[in-house]
Amino acid sequence: LTDPARGARPSPFAEGDEIAVAELETVDGWEPMSWRYERCAEGAHGWPQGAACGRVRRFFGARVIASDGADGFEEYLCMMHVAVAPQERDLEGATAAVDDAKDVAGYAHRFNLHAAKALGEDADPEEVPGIKVSAPVACTVLGSSVPMVVDAGESVTLTLYPASEVHKFVFEGGEDFAELAQAFFHFVAWASGGRELACDLQGREDEEGIVLVDP
């Protein structure tokens, strides 16, 4: 999930990279990330069953150090997704979250092209405000100084996310109207013939449009 043309903000990390998490913290502004699991636990009507809702996760701010490809290092501010239940911190679960993001990014790519086409033949999809998914990566932990959070041999996902807040764009219908996010939600339903819905659209908005995290 690294090609920006597919509706993704690519991850700076590639398969096989070894990276270090130098610091973990809880971020108050990310509290909305847990609402999905709370609704599912309450048995709220309309929420699907399965790993996307049933595999409860916590979200930590992670300061990540990685090689810059030369002789130095770069620092990234990321969101670490950790399953609450230790038995669910497996690579299969982490990879499932990546696959979900990949599916939504595929629809985002088509939506962005559709929106640009509606503005005329000369419109550049990369210059039209659109939807991008912040691409997660599945990681296996090689060593840990905080085994109560995640231990060696367990798996997590990491997503580049430097913002201090998460905004719900499409959740249960009571959120403030966001035209771009609502248009994308309806586009997915239309493009899939009603077979799929992109739910719990959350993240941040910038000059390029909306960046989704963990859709």
* C-alpha distance from residue 77 to each of 25, 153, 175 (Å): 11, 23, 27
140-193: pLDDT as tens digits = 999 999 999 999 999 999 999 999 999 999 998 888 899 999 999 999 999 999
Q: Is 215 exposed, middle or buried (0-12, 13-18, 19+ CB in 10 A)?
A: buried
Bigger pLDDT: 208 or 127?
Answer: 208
Q: Tell the burial category of 126 from Cβ atoms under 10 Å away from its Cβ (0-12, 13-18, 19+).
A: exposed
The encoded tokens of residue 102 equal 């990949």
Which own/partner pairs from 10-15 qualify as long-range (CB within 8 Å, at least 24 positions apart)? Answer: 10/135, 11/135, 11/136, 11/137, 11/158, 11/159, 11/160, 12/66, 12/74, 12/76, 12/160, 13/66, 13/137, 13/139, 13/158
Residue 6 has pLDDT above 80, yes or no: no
- Per-residue model confidence (pLDDT) at position 32: 94
The pLDDT value given to residue 2: 46
**Among positive and negative, which fits the CA dihedral 47, 52, 53, 59?**
negative
Sheet harboring 155-160: ordered strands across? 20-25, 57-67, 73-83, 155-160, 136-140
Residues 6 or more apart in contact with residue 92 via CB below 8 angstroms: none
Rounded to 5, what percent of the chain is helix, strand, coil? 30, 30, 40
- Kindly tell me if the per-residue pLDDT of 124 is higher than 90: no
pLDDT single digits (tens) 11-66: 999 989 999 999 999 999 999 999 988 888 777 666 766 667 778 899 999 999 99
Which of the four pLDDT bands, split at 50, 70 and 90, describes residue 121?
A: low
